[in-house]
Every structure is written in structure tokens, then in C-alpha cells.
């Protein structure tokens, strides 16, 4: 069951408060124990808090009604916020990597009991927040969820690292754990950045098979051809479609019924907004896919 907007907003508020609180705990624990991996995870938690605030703000702004100057409303705020989250992740990764490399040769002594205790609490907190945010289709909520999930994995890595340091007495496991956290951060960043960039560049939505969609549309009674097709995403859960349809000359009188059947197929394929233009058979059948800026079809 997908959470309601009201429920997800409440979850965001809880997650933001818990994340900020535990960020402070990890900063204190990291400095007290000399653990770079804990301090890295503290940076990870701060990024999570910032990401949660961005995601929550985007969720609120996206509800604003369209205006004359913003006809699609604020849905794209979700995409810009998700992209900002991803860029922030990469910047933090670079900082952690630089510090980890400098520590491998001469790692400081680590207070493993403190490191272990803080990491275990962090794991519990992140699992709780992750459960609050899971199961939502909105890209920004998914972005926040992946942030928290990656932080939970980071906490688990620190737990394992603290045990290894305690058993072997080798402090260099700490910067190594930090580098492992970097891999997680970069992976989670990419998983959000890729769809955000696709949407901003107005690529065809990944979940829609264009050839299959065209086949379904041309299989409708009265439709002879579909061309000048454009399909893009406004945000993670709103797709738009624009195309010309050549219909049987003798069925022009039934154009509204044909248009309704077309919209049913589009809705079944996850397309909410559509602009449909009809042409008669005598108009000819240009290329299927859109037109260039100079008006030529390809």
C-alpha cells in the first residue's frame, strides 16, 4: 500500500528531526573516538538531513496549483531537488576520500567501544527512518529513501569495522571503511541522478515502450497512422504525450469517440497529459517521431 501525502509528510518531519539529532551524536562520537568512518557517516547524516529537507520542500511545492506563468505548476521542483541531492553526495564523497587516503599511512588510535556503540544506534535510527519512507513512487521520496538506506549500510560497515579494529588492533580498517562508504554514496547518487537528468533532458520515459505504444494506438478502430510523436516526463510520476493521428476519412464524424479510446490507451501506459491532433488520410503520413526546430520531420 502506497502511503498518502499526509502520511509521507509526517514521516519526513520525524525523519528530519531524528537525522539532525543523530548527526550531532555521530560528530561527537567521531571526534571522541578518533574514527574517520564515524565522522564520514556524520557527514553522510548531515547530507541526509539536507536531502530530507529538500525532498520535503519539493513535496510541498509540487502541490501548488498551476498559474498563467507556470502552467505545469511546481512538479519540476522534485527533479531539481533530487539532482541537487545527488551532486551534494558526490562532493561529500570527494572530501571523505581525500581524508581517508591521508589516514591510511598513519591511522590514529581508535576508541572502538564508542565507535561500535554509536554505529549500532545509527543503524537502528536509519532502519527506522527507512521504514517510514519506503513504498512511495515520487522520485524525491525515493531519493530520500535511498539516502537513508545507504546511510544504514554505512552504519553496518562501521559496526563491522569497529569489531575488526578491536579484534586485530589495526586502526587502518577505519579509513578503509570510509572508502567503502564512498562507494555506497556514489552508487546511491547515480541511482537518483540518472533519472533526474533524463527527465530534465526530456528523454522518453524509461518505463514506456514507444514501439508497443504506437502499435496499440494504431490498432484502434479508425486510426490509420500515428506520427510527429513526442513523449516526455514532467516529473517522476507525470508523463506527457503529443502526436498527430491520421484517421479514416469516413470516421471523422466519430472523432471524439476515437480520441477517448486513444486517451484510454495512453492512461493505461502511464501518460497523464496528452495533446492529440487529427488528420485525414488525404493529408499524407509524415515521419513517426517529432520534428526538428526548422519544422522538418525525421
pLDDT at 242: 94
Query: Residue 104 class from Cβ within 10 Å (0-12 exposed, 13-18 middle, 19+ buried)?
Result: middle
Q: Which residues of the chain have pLDDT under 50?
A: 1-3, 296-298
Alpha carbon separation from 187 to 44, 78, 151 (Å, rounded): 13, 20, 12
Query: In angstroms, what is the C-alpha Rg of the chain?
Result: 25
Which domains are present in the chain? 5-200 (1.20.1510.10), 210-283 (3.30.70.1350)
Query: Residue 117's closest CA among 174, 33, 173, 184?
Result: 33
- Note the pTM of the prediction, 2 decimals: 0.71
Secondary structure of 91-113 in HEC code, one letter for each residue: HHHHHHHHHHHHHHCCCCCCCHH
Cβ neighbours of 259 (radius 10 Å): 15
User: Is the CA virtual torsion 223, 229, 233, 234 positive or negative?
Assistant: negative
- DSSP 8-state code for residue 236: T
Q: Look at residue 136 in the predicted model and tell me its pLDDT.
A: 65
Query: What's the pLDDT at 2?
Result: 41
pLDDT of 200 reads 92
Q: Which three cell numbers stand for residue 118?
A: 554509536
At residue 264, the pLDDT reads: 94
Residue pair 222/262 in contact (Cβ under 8 Å)? The answer is no
Amino acid at each position: 500500500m502506497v502511503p498518502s501525502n499526509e502520511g509521507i509528510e509526517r514521516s519526513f518531519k520525524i525523519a528530519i528531526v531524528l537525522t539532525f539529532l543523530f548527526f550531532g551524536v555521530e560528530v561527537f562520537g567521531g571526534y571522541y573516538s578518533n574514527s574517520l568512518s564515524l565522522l564520514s557517516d556524520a557527514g553522510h547524516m548531515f547530507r541526509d538531513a539536507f536531502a530530507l529537507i529538500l525532498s520535503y520542500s519539493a513535496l510541498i511545492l509540487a502541490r501548488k496549483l498551476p498559474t498563467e506563468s507556470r502552467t505545469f505548476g511546481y512538479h519540476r521542483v522534485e527533479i531539481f531537488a533530487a539532482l541537487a541531492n545527488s551532486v551534494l553526495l558526490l562532493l561529500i564523497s570527494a572530501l571523505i576520500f581525500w581524508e581517508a587516503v591521508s589516514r591510511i599511512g598513519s591511522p590514529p588510535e581508535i576508541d572502538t567501544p564508542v565507535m561500535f556503540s554509536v554505529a549500532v544506534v545509527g543503524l537502528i535510527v536509519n532502519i527506522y527512518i527507512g521504514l517510514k519512507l519506503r513504498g512511495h513512487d515520487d522520485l524525491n521520496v525515493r531519493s530520500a529513501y535511498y539516502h537513508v538506506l545507504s546511510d544504514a549500510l554505512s552504519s553496518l560497515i562501521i559496526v563491522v569495522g569497529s569489531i575488526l579494529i578491536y579484534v586485530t588492533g589495526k586502526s587502518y580498517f577505519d579509513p578503509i571503511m570510509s572508502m567503502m562508504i564512498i562507494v555506497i554514496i556514489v552508487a546511491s547518487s547515480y541511482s537518483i541522478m540518472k533519472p533526474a537528468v533524463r527527465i530534465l533532458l526530456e528523454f522518453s520515459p524509461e518505463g514506456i515502450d514507444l514501439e508497443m505504444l504506437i502499435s496499440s494506438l494504431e490498432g484502434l478502430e479508425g486510426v490509420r497512422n500515428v506520427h510527429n510523436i513526442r513523449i516526455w516526463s514532467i516529473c517522476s510520476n507525470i508523463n506527457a504525450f503529443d502526436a498527430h493521428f491520421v484517421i479514416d476519412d469516413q470516421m471523422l464524424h466519430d472523432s471524439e469517440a476515437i480520441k477517448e479510446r486513444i486517451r484510454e490507451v495512453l492512461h493505461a501506459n502511464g501518460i497523464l497529459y496528452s495533446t492529440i491532433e487529427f488528420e485525414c488520410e488525404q493529408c499524407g503520413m509524415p515521419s513517426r517521431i517529432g520534428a526538428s526546430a526548422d519544422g522538418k520531420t525525421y
